[in-house]
Amino acid sequence: MIMISSILKKVRFQKMMKQSEKQDSKNGKEDEQTENVIKGNLEEDIGTLRSILGDSSDLIIRKFIFGKHIEAAIIYIDGLIDKTLVNENIMKPLMYINNLESGELPKSIDIDYVKSELLFVGSIDGKNSINEIVFKIVSGDTIFLMDGEKEALVISLLGWKTRGIEEPKTESVVRGPREGFTETMRFNTAMLRRKIKNPDLRFETLTIGERTKTDVCIAYIKGLTDPKLIEEIRQRLMRIKTDAILESGYIEQYIEDSPFSIFPTIANSEKPDKVAAKMLEGRAAILVDGTPFVLTVPMLFIESFQSSEDYYSRPYFSSMIRILRVIAFFLSILAPAAYVALSTFHQELIPTPLLLSMAAAHEGVPFPSAVEAGVMLVFFEILREAGVRLPRPIGQAVSIVGALVIGESAVSAGIIGAPMVIVVAITAVSSFAVPPQTDSGAIIRFVLLILAGFMGGFGIAIGLFALFIHMAKLRSFGTPYLLPLAPLDKSGLKDTLVRTSIWSLRKRPLGMSLDDIRQEGSLKPSLSKDDVNVPEGN
């Protein structure tokens, strides 16, 4: 009995200790919340903000007196606000009331009177949390503090320098809009508004990055985009806990379905018309402040061979160009491996005159074809990287001179055969025809070359078979990567390797949106009998 009573006492003591800890924690949080608000003492509040923001040279704190000896201050970051708007819409109205006769002034000027009667601004909000006020300051807003008031006014007078709307250099078109996204997210949302003038267009903004506090926006069309897709995007974004988000590529790597795959499962674009077209198919866009590249999900593999210009031109030429892109992609990944396999393992498949010519060109070359191709491909990747990183005029000169002079010198010296230079040149040109798959194509090219060097055509077949199996398993936010080819969607085949007429594309991609019907009825152009002018006979 004594033992049981002692155990019960210990249990009661532990419960009391836990309750005491909970109460202390609760009181501590309440004290912290009390300390983390505006006190109403101007000097103390300015000191609190200065202690958090430090003595940074771009932090501007302007104290002044207005009305009946009322002390106030405005706080902002130099370079993020428009000083002209601050002077005209804040300072001038407040300082002007000093010249009014005492009878025209209200008996008491409080923060509500300043907000509703004196300030000439459209976007203004009240905050009392120190953390929220600090975040607004570093985001480019102007803070108005007034002595004796426990609320601060957050005034939006953004005015930093931005890059103008220009034509994207990565997605040039012959026909179509020339405007591209910029680094300012609000400009980008406005461009999407111009393309989709629909009240169902929605923008949801999140803040990601513990230190950078980057704005990330989810754009979609309500009633067209599946709510499950938006919820999945929202959950994946909110799961990101990191210090910095500096570009949309950060977001892409955090939320993609298959991080170990060489294929991109999230598309990106600089063109508002392209992003708007994908949103009208039921996709969602992800905009990141500070970059012109907008992400779109889900992504299909066939999108890599599609261009916005395909839909602005007639279907016959667009279909031919799209087929050429597919051929170029397979040439870029297969040409070196096929040459090595044929010249090393399957000479009987080469016509005799061509085989004799290849043998004569390779005579005296000290390396086997596989090593020869590998060296040339590595050299090509070095040239491409140098051409991209150097300034444009110098980069073009380096690429051209490097390819011509070094290639010609290598052939003349007998280190490389002339046919191999031709194969690598075809590979290089073809690799630029499909920019979305340039990175994956480079890796596939080397893998197939190694397999061809060891096993010939059989190795290439194994590599392609494994590649197709991997692609069939890929998903982009739950959507099969090879749709509409696998699983097969007959209606979706109208916009894959070939593109049929716009009026025949009645349905959106399978499972992409809540409303599959894109257009009602038959919109095929036709003339009525009354519109046809038939000349009368004699």
Neighbour-count burial for 221-259, b at 16+ CB within 10 Å, e otherwise? beebbbeebbebbeebbeeeeeeebeebebbbebbbbee
128 with 88, same domain: the answer is yes
252 with 345, same domain: the answer is no
Contact 436, 257 (CB under 8 A): no
Max Cα separation, the chain? 130
pLDDT in tens, 365-395: 888 888 988 988 888 888 888 777 777 666 6
Tell me whether residue 9 is in a domain.
no
Task: Give me Rg for the CA atoms of the chain.
Answer: 33
What is residue 121's predicted lDDT score, i.e. its pLDDT? 82
Final residue before a domain boundary, out of 428, 461, 480: 480
Residue 163's CB is within 10 A of a number of other CB atoms, namely 11
What is d(CA 236, CA 255) in angstroms, rounded to the nearest whole number? Answer: 6
Closest Cα partner for 427 from 307, 330, 303, 302?
Answer: 330
Residue 538's CB is within 10 A of a number of other CB atoms, namely 2
Final residue before a domain boundary, out of 299, 327, 351: 299
325 with 445, same domain: the answer is yes
Tell me whether residue 20 is in a domain.
no
The two structure tokens encoding residue 472: 């069939």
What is residue 30's predicted lDDT score, i.e. its pLDDT? 44
What is residue 8's predicted lDDT score, i.e. its pLDDT? 53
127 with 214, same domain: the answer is no
107 with 213, same domain: the answer is no
At a CB cut-off of 8 Å and minimum separation 6, what does 101 contact?
none
Peptide bond into 298 cis (omega under 30): yes
Consecutive 10-residue averages of pLDDT for the chain (538 residues): 54 56 49 68 91 87 84 90 85 72 61 83 86 89 91 86 82 88 92 94 94 94 94 96 94 94 95 95 95 95 92 91 95 94 90 86 83 88 79 67 71 81 89 91 95 94 96 94 89 87 86 84 72 54
Contact 336, 427 (CB under 8 A): yes
Contact 276, 221 (CB under 8 A): no
85 with 59, same domain: the answer is yes
Residue 493's CB is within 10 A of a number of other CB atoms, namely 14
119 with 219, same domain: the answer is no
CA-angle at 182, arms to 181 and 187, nearest 5°: 85
Question: HEC string of 45-97?
Answer: HHHHHHHHHCCCCCEEEEEEEECCCEEEEEEEECCCECHHHHHHHHHHHHHHH
What is residue 119's predicted lDDT score, i.e. its pLDDT? 85
295 with 322, same domain: the answer is no
Tell me whether residue 85 is in a domain.
yes
Label residue 157 exposed, middle or buried (CB < 10 Å: 0-12, 13-18, 19+): buried
Closest Cα partner for 268 from 438, 422, 51, 494?
Answer: 438
437 with 335, same domain: the answer is yes
Residue 477's CB is within 10 A of a number of other CB atoms, namely 20
- Domain hosting 291: range is 185-299
What is d(CA 341, CA 217) in angstroms, rounded to the nearest whole number? Answer: 49
453 with 319, same domain: the answer is yes
Tell me whether residue 528 is in a domain.
no
State how many domains the chain has.
Answer: 3
Tell me whether residue 515 is in a domain.
no
Tell me whether residue 75 is in a domain.
yes
105 with 147, same domain: the answer is yes
The two structure tokens encoding residue 30: 């309440």
Final residue before a domain boundary, out of 480, 496, 515: 480
What is d(CA 358, CA 343) in angstroms, rounded to the nearest whole number? Answer: 8
Amino acid (one-letter) located at 326: V
Amino acid (one-letter) located at 94: L
Tell me whether residue 76 is in a domain.
yes
pLDDT in tens, 456-478: 999 999 999 999 999 999 999 99
322 with 368, same domain: the answer is yes
- Dihedral sign of CA atoms 217, 222, 225, 227 in order: positive
Tell me whether residue 486 is in a domain.
no
Contact 249, 267 (CB under 8 A): no
